[in-house]
Chain A
Protein backbone atom coordinates (compact mmCIF):
# COMPACT_ATOMS: atom_id res chain seq x y z
CA UNK A 1 0.00 0.00 0.00
CA UNK A 2 1.35 3.39 -1.00
CA UNK A 3 0.44 5.03 2.30
CA UNK A 4 2.43 2.44 4.22
CA UNK A 5 5.39 3.05 1.93
CA UNK A 6 5.24 6.77 2.69
CA UNK A 7 5.09 6.10 6.44
CA UNK A 8 8.03 3.67 6.11
CA UNK A 9 10.06 6.31 4.24
CA UNK A 10 9.36 8.92 6.91
CA UNK A 11 10.18 6.38 9.63
CA UNK A 12 13.53 5.65 7.99
CA UNK A 13 14.13 9.38 7.61
CA UNK A 14 13.43 10.01 11.31
CA UNK A 15 15.69 7.12 12.38
CA UNK A 16 18.50 8.59 10.25
CA UNK A 17 17.95 11.98 11.85
CA UNK A 18 18.26 10.31 15.26
CA UNK A 19 21.65 8.90 14.23
CA UNK A 20 22.77 12.34 13.15
CA UNK A 21 21.55 13.83 16.43
CA UNK A 22 23.47 11.14 18.34
CA UNK A 23 26.64 12.22 16.54
CA UNK A 24 25.90 15.81 17.42
CA UNK A 25 25.40 14.81 21.06
CA UNK A 26 28.68 12.89 21.05
CA UNK A 27 30.52 16.01 19.84
CA UNK A 28 29.10 18.06 22.70
CA UNK A 29 29.91 15.32 25.23
CA UNK A 30 33.41 14.91 23.82
CA UNK A 31 34.31 18.57 24.31
CA UNK A 32 32.75 18.66 27.79
CA UNK A 33 34.63 15.53 28.84
CA UNK A 34 37.88 16.74 27.32
CA UNK A 35 37.50 19.99 29.24
CA UNK A 36 37.08 18.13 32.54
CA UNK A 37 39.93 15.76 31.65
CA UNK A 38 42.36 18.57 30.79
CA UNK A 39 41.46 20.47 33.96
CA UNK A 40 42.05 17.27 36.00
CA UNK A 41 45.40 16.73 34.26
CA UNK A 42 46.39 20.34 34.92
CA UNK A 43 45.41 19.96 38.60
CA UNK A 44 47.50 16.82 39.01
CA UNK A 45 50.52 18.40 37.35
CA UNK A 46 50.05 21.54 39.49
CA UNK A 47 49.97 19.43 42.63
CA UNK A 48 53.16 17.67 41.56
CA UNK A 49 54.87 21.00 40.87
CA UNK A 50 53.63 22.40 44.21
CA UNK A 51 54.91 19.30 45.99
CA UNK A 52 58.26 19.71 44.25
CA UNK A 53 58.44 23.40 45.20
CA UNK A 54 57.74 22.57 48.84
CA UNK A 55 60.58 20.06 48.66
CA UNK A 56 62.83 22.66 47.04
CA UNK A 57 62.23 25.30 49.70
CA UNK A 58 62.33 23.01 52.70
CA UNK A 59 65.30 21.13 51.28
CA UNK A 60 63.47 17.89 51.94
CA UNK A 61 64.42 16.15 48.71
CA UNK A 62 65.86 16.62 45.26
CA UNK A 63 63.17 18.17 43.04
CA UNK A 64 64.52 16.61 39.86
CA UNK A 65 63.88 13.17 41.33
CA UNK A 66 60.12 13.73 41.31
CA UNK A 67 59.88 14.24 37.55
CA UNK A 68 62.13 11.33 36.66
CA UNK A 69 60.59 9.04 39.26
CA UNK A 70 59.31 5.97 37.37
CA UNK A 71 56.32 5.77 39.72
CA UNK A 72 55.25 9.36 39.05
CA UNK A 73 55.77 8.98 35.30
CA UNK A 74 53.86 5.71 35.29
CA UNK A 75 50.99 7.19 37.31
CA UNK A 76 50.77 10.19 34.97
CA UNK A 77 50.74 7.96 31.88
CA UNK A 78 48.21 5.64 33.51
CA UNK A 79 45.96 8.54 34.42
CA UNK A 80 46.22 9.91 30.88
CA UNK A 81 45.23 6.66 29.17
CA UNK A 82 42.61 5.63 31.73
CA UNK A 83 41.13 9.13 31.43
CA UNK A 84 40.91 8.86 27.64
CA UNK A 85 39.38 5.39 27.89
CA UNK A 86 36.87 6.62 30.49
CA UNK A 87 35.85 9.46 28.15
CA UNK A 88 35.35 7.04 25.25
CA UNK A 89 33.24 4.65 27.38
CA UNK A 90 31.25 7.52 28.93
CA UNK A 91 30.39 9.03 25.53
CA UNK A 92 29.52 5.63 24.08
CA UNK A 93 27.19 4.84 27.01
CA UNK A 94 25.49 8.23 27.03
CA UNK A 95 24.99 8.34 23.30
CA UNK A 96 23.85 4.77 22.68
CA UNK A 97 21.26 4.77 25.47
CA UNK A 98 19.59 7.97 24.44
CA UNK A 99 16.35 7.85 22.49
CA UNK A 100 16.27 11.03 20.52
CA UNK A 101 12.94 11.47 18.86
CA UNK A 102 9.54 10.49 20.14
CA UNK A 103 8.22 10.14 16.61
CA UNK A 104 6.89 6.57 16.68
CA UNK A 105 3.68 7.75 18.36
CA UNK A 106 3.05 10.25 15.56
CA UNK A 107 3.70 7.59 12.91
CA UNK A 108 1.18 5.25 14.51
CA UNK A 109 -1.44 7.68 13.20
CA UNK A 110 -0.44 6.69 9.67
CA UNK A 111 0.18 9.01 6.74
CA UNK A 112 -1.26 12.20 8.33
CA UNK A 113 1.07 11.69 11.31
CA UNK A 114 4.05 11.23 8.99
CA UNK A 115 3.10 14.41 7.17
CA UNK A 116 2.75 16.29 10.46
CA UNK A 117 6.27 15.23 11.49
CA UNK A 118 7.68 16.71 8.30
CA UNK A 119 5.59 19.87 8.49
CA UNK A 120 6.44 20.56 12.14
CA UNK A 121 10.15 19.83 11.75
CA UNK A 122 12.57 22.58 12.72
CA UNK A 123 14.56 22.30 9.49
CA UNK A 124 17.14 24.92 10.41
CA UNK A 125 18.02 22.92 13.51
CA UNK A 126 18.17 19.70 11.43
CA UNK A 127 20.67 21.35 9.10
CA UNK A 128 22.68 22.66 12.05
CA UNK A 129 22.70 19.14 13.53
CA UNK A 130 23.96 17.76 10.21
CA UNK A 131 26.82 20.27 10.21
CA UNK A 132 27.74 19.45 13.81
CA UNK A 133 27.50 15.70 13.13
CA UNK A 134 29.89 16.15 10.21
CA UNK A 135 32.38 17.91 12.48
CA UNK A 136 31.86 15.14 15.04
CA UNK A 137 32.69 12.47 12.50
CA UNK A 138 35.81 14.30 11.39
CA UNK A 139 36.76 14.85 15.03
CA UNK A 140 36.27 11.18 15.86
CA UNK A 141 38.59 10.18 12.98
CA UNK A 142 41.28 12.57 14.28
CA UNK A 143 40.73 11.52 17.92
CA UNK A 144 40.97 7.80 17.05
CA UNK A 145 44.18 8.26 15.09
CA UNK A 146 45.66 10.55 17.77
CA UNK A 147 44.83 8.16 20.64
CA UNK A 148 46.25 5.10 18.86
CA UNK A 149 49.28 7.09 17.67
CA UNK A 150 50.00 8.06 21.28
CA UNK A 151 49.85 4.45 22.44
CA UNK A 152 52.10 3.30 19.57
CA UNK A 153 54.47 6.22 20.21
CA UNK A 154 54.67 5.22 23.86
CA UNK A 155 55.56 1.62 22.94
CA UNK A 156 58.00 2.69 20.19
CA UNK A 157 59.72 5.14 22.56
CA UNK A 158 60.24 2.36 25.08
CA UNK A 159 61.66 0.08 22.36
CA UNK A 160 63.79 2.94 21.02
CA UNK A 161 65.39 3.59 24.39
CA UNK A 162 65.64 0.04 25.72
CA UNK A 163 66.12 -2.36 22.80
CA UNK A 164 67.27 -0.62 19.59
CA UNK A 165 70.46 0.97 21.04
CA UNK A 166 71.62 -2.44 22.29
CA UNK A 167 71.01 -4.24 18.99
CA UNK A 168 71.69 -1.61 16.31
CA UNK A 169 73.75 0.87 18.37
CA UNK A 170 71.57 3.74 17.17
CA UNK A 171 68.60 5.68 18.49
CA UNK A 172 65.82 6.87 16.20
CA UNK A 173 64.93 10.55 16.05
CA UNK A 174 61.67 11.53 17.87
CA UNK A 175 60.17 12.98 14.64
CA UNK A 176 60.65 9.61 12.93
CA UNK A 177 58.96 7.86 15.87
CA UNK A 178 55.98 10.24 15.67
CA UNK A 179 55.68 9.72 11.89
CA UNK A 180 55.83 5.93 12.23
CA UNK A 181 53.21 6.02 15.03
CA UNK A 182 50.76 8.10 12.97
CA UNK A 183 51.32 5.91 9.91
CA UNK A 184 50.72 2.70 11.89
CA UNK A 185 47.61 4.19 13.51
CA UNK A 186 46.22 5.14 10.09
CA UNK A 187 46.96 1.66 8.75
CA UNK A 188 45.28 0.10 11.79
CA UNK A 189 42.06 2.10 11.30
CA UNK A 190 42.23 2.26 7.49
CA UNK A 191 38.80 0.73 6.94
CA UNK A 192 37.07 2.69 9.70
CA UNK A 193 38.66 5.96 8.56
CA UNK A 194 37.60 5.27 4.99
CA UNK A 195 33.98 4.63 6.07
CA UNK A 196 33.85 7.70 8.27
CA UNK A 197 35.32 9.96 5.59
CA UNK A 198 32.73 8.65 3.14
CA UNK A 199 30.06 9.48 5.75
CA UNK A 200 31.51 12.99 6.13
CA UNK A 201 31.19 13.54 2.37
CA UNK A 202 27.71 12.00 2.58
CA UNK A 203 26.77 14.70 5.11
CA UNK A 204 27.60 17.33 2.49
CA UNK A 205 25.23 15.68 0.01
CA UNK A 206 22.60 15.38 2.74
CA UNK A 207 22.85 19.08 3.61
CA UNK A 208 22.24 19.95 -0.04
CA UNK A 209 19.39 17.41 -0.27
CA UNK A 210 17.74 18.75 2.88
CA UNK A 211 17.93 22.32 1.59
CA UNK A 212 16.24 21.20 -1.63
CA UNK A 213 13.63 19.13 0.25
CA UNK A 214 12.66 22.02 2.53
CA UNK A 215 12.20 24.28 -0.51
CA UNK A 216 10.00 21.64 -2.16
CA UNK A 217 7.98 21.17 1.04
CA UNK A 218 7.40 24.91 1.36
CA UNK A 219 6.36 25.06 -2.28
CA UNK A 220 3.92 22.16 -1.78
CA UNK A 221 2.43 23.94 1.24
CA UNK A 222 2.01 27.16 -0.72
CA UNK A 223 0.23 25.31 -3.49
CA UNK A 224 -2.53 24.15 -1.12
Chain B
Protein backbone atom coordinates (compact mmCIF):
# COMPACT_ATOMS: atom_id res chain seq x y z
CA UNK B 1 0.00 0.00 0.00
CA UNK B 2 1.25 3.48 -0.77
CA UNK B 3 2.06 5.98 2.00
CA UNK B 4 -1.16 7.81 1.10
CA UNK B 5 -3.18 4.71 1.81
CA UNK B 6 -1.20 3.76 4.92
CA UNK B 7 -2.22 7.06 6.46
CA UNK B 8 -5.84 5.86 6.03
CA UNK B 9 -6.37 8.17 3.07
CA UNK B 10 -7.11 6.29 -0.13
CA UNK B 11 -5.34 6.99 -3.38
CA UNK B 12 -7.55 9.21 -5.54
CA UNK B 13 -6.19 7.49 -8.63
CA UNK B 14 -7.37 4.07 -7.49
CA UNK B 15 -10.79 5.46 -6.53
CA UNK B 16 -11.09 7.07 -9.97
CA UNK B 17 -10.16 3.78 -11.67
CA UNK B 18 -12.77 1.82 -9.74
CA UNK B 19 -15.49 4.38 -10.43
CA UNK B 20 -14.55 4.68 -14.11
CA UNK B 21 -14.65 0.92 -14.51
CA UNK B 22 -18.11 0.81 -12.91
CA UNK B 23 -19.34 3.72 -15.05
CA UNK B 24 -18.18 2.04 -18.24
CA UNK B 25 -19.47 -1.43 -17.45
CA UNK B 26 -22.46 -0.69 -15.24
CA UNK B 27 -21.36 -3.07 -12.49
CA UNK B 28 -19.38 -6.21 -11.83
CA UNK B 29 -18.58 -8.91 -9.32
CA UNK B 30 -15.95 -7.94 -6.74
CA UNK B 31 -13.28 -10.31 -8.13
CA UNK B 32 -13.93 -9.25 -11.73
CA UNK B 33 -13.77 -5.59 -10.77
CA UNK B 34 -10.52 -6.05 -8.81
CA UNK B 35 -8.90 -7.70 -11.83
CA UNK B 36 -10.25 -5.07 -14.23
CA UNK B 37 -8.75 -2.34 -12.04
CA UNK B 38 -5.42 -4.18 -11.75
CA UNK B 39 -5.70 -4.49 -7.96
CA UNK B 40 -5.07 -7.44 -5.69
CA UNK B 41 -8.28 -8.70 -4.11
CA UNK B 42 -7.19 -7.63 -0.59
CA UNK B 43 -6.36 -4.15 -1.72
CA UNK B 44 -9.57 -3.88 -3.68
CA UNK B 45 -11.55 -5.08 -0.65
CA UNK B 46 -10.16 -2.24 1.49
CA UNK B 47 -11.12 0.31 -1.15
CA UNK B 48 -14.55 -1.28 -1.59
CA UNK B 49 -15.22 -1.11 2.18
CA UNK B 50 -14.13 2.52 2.26
CA UNK B 51 -16.37 3.36 -0.71
CA UNK B 52 -19.37 1.52 0.73
CA UNK B 53 -18.95 3.44 4.02
CA UNK B 54 -19.21 6.69 2.07
CA UNK B 55 -22.07 5.45 -0.08
CA UNK B 56 -20.06 5.73 -3.31
CA UNK B 57 -20.76 2.13 -4.29
CA UNK B 58 -23.14 -0.60 -3.18
CA UNK B 59 -22.53 -4.33 -2.98
CA UNK B 60 -25.41 -6.80 -2.92
CA UNK B 61 -25.57 -10.28 -1.40
CA UNK B 62 -24.16 -11.81 -4.56
CA UNK B 63 -21.04 -9.62 -4.30
CA UNK B 64 -22.16 -7.59 -7.27
CA UNK B 65 -20.75 -4.05 -7.10
CA UNK B 66 -22.56 -1.07 -8.61
CA UNK B 67 -22.12 2.67 -8.50
CA UNK B 68 -24.46 4.88 -6.46
CA UNK B 69 -25.67 8.32 -7.51
CA UNK B 70 -23.25 9.80 -4.95
CA UNK B 71 -20.41 7.83 -6.58
CA UNK B 72 -21.20 9.27 -10.01
CA UNK B 73 -21.48 12.78 -8.57
CA UNK B 74 -18.16 12.45 -6.75
CA UNK B 75 -16.40 11.36 -9.96
CA UNK B 76 -17.99 14.21 -11.92
CA UNK B 77 -16.94 16.68 -9.22
CA UNK B 78 -13.39 15.42 -9.49
CA UNK B 79 -13.43 15.79 -13.29
CA UNK B 80 -14.87 19.32 -13.00
CA UNK B 81 -12.27 20.20 -10.38
CA UNK B 82 -9.44 19.22 -12.74
CA UNK B 83 -10.96 21.13 -15.69
CA UNK B 84 -11.47 24.24 -13.60
CA UNK B 85 -8.22 24.26 -11.67
CA UNK B 86 -5.75 23.02 -14.28
CA UNK B 87 -7.41 25.41 -16.73
CA UNK B 88 -6.69 28.32 -14.40
CA UNK B 89 -2.92 27.88 -14.59
CA UNK B 90 -1.50 30.65 -16.76
CA UNK B 91 1.38 29.32 -18.82
CA UNK B 92 3.48 31.92 -20.59
CA UNK B 93 3.88 31.52 -24.34
CA UNK B 94 7.54 30.73 -24.82
CA UNK B 95 9.16 29.89 -28.13
A interface residues with partner B (beta carbon < 8 Å): 2-3, 5-6, 9-10, 13, 16, 19-20, 23, 110-112, 114-116, 118-119, 133, 137, 195-196, 198-203, 205-206, 209-210, 213, 216-217, 220-222, 224
Q: What residue in chain A is nearest B76 (Cβ atoms)?
A: A2
Tell whether B69 is near chain A: CB-to-CB under 8 Å.
Answer: no
Q: What residue in chain A is nearest B92 (Cβ atoms)?
A: A202
Contact B94 A23 (CB under 8 A): yes
Main DSSP-derived SS at the A contact region: helix
The smallest beta-carbon distance between A116 and chain B, in angstroms, is 4
Residues on the B chain within 8 Å of A115, using CB = 12-13, 16, 78, 82
Contact with A along B59-95 (1 / 0, CB 8 A): 0000000000000000010111111011111111111
What would 19 more interface pairs be, CB under 8 Å, given A112-B16, A213-B85, A213-B88?
A: A9-B82, A13-B86, A13-B89, A19-B94, A111-B16, A111-B20, A111-B82, A112-B17, A118-B86, A119-B11, A119-B12, A119-B13, A133-B94, A195-B93, A200-B92, A209-B88, A209-B89, A209-B90, A220-B78
User: Could you show 30 A-B contacts with beta carbons less than 8 Å apart?
Assistant: A2-B76, A2-B79, A6-B79, A9-B82, A9-B86, A10-B82, A19-B94, A20-B94, A111-B16, A112-B16, A112-B17, A115-B16, A116-B13, A118-B86, A119-B11, A119-B13, A133-B94, A195-B95, A196-B94, A198-B92, A199-B93, A202-B93, A206-B92, A209-B89, A213-B85, A213-B89, A217-B85, A220-B78, A221-B4, A222-B9
CA distance A198 to B94 in the complex (A): 9
Q: What residue in chain A is nearest B10 (Cβ atoms)?
A: A224
Residues on the A chain within 8 Å of B86, using CB = 6, 9-10, 13, 118, 213
CA distance A23 to B86 in the complex (A): 21
Tell whether B48 is near chain A: CB-to-CB under 8 Å.
Answer: no
Q: What residue in chain B is nearest A136 (Cβ atoms)?
A: B94
Q: What residue in chain B is nearest A133 (Cβ atoms)?
A: B94
Q: What residue in chain B is nearest A201 (Cβ atoms)?
A: B92
The smallest beta-carbon distance between B81 and chain A, in angstroms, is 6
The smallest beta-carbon distance between B23 and chain A, in angstroms, is 9
Tally of contact residues, B, Cβ under 8 A: 28
Q: What residue in chain A is nearest B21 (Cβ atoms)?
A: A112
Q: What residue in chain B is nearest A19 (Cβ atoms)?
A: B94
Tell whether B34 is near chain A: CB-to-CB under 8 Å.
Answer: no
CA distance A21 to B71 in the complex (A): 37
CA distance A118 to B86 in the complex (A): 10
CA distance A222 to B93 in the complex (A): 33
Contact A224 B79 (CB under 8 A): no
Contact B91 A202 (CB under 8 A): yes
* Residue in B20, B82, B85 whose Cβ sees the most chain A Cβ within 10 Å: B82
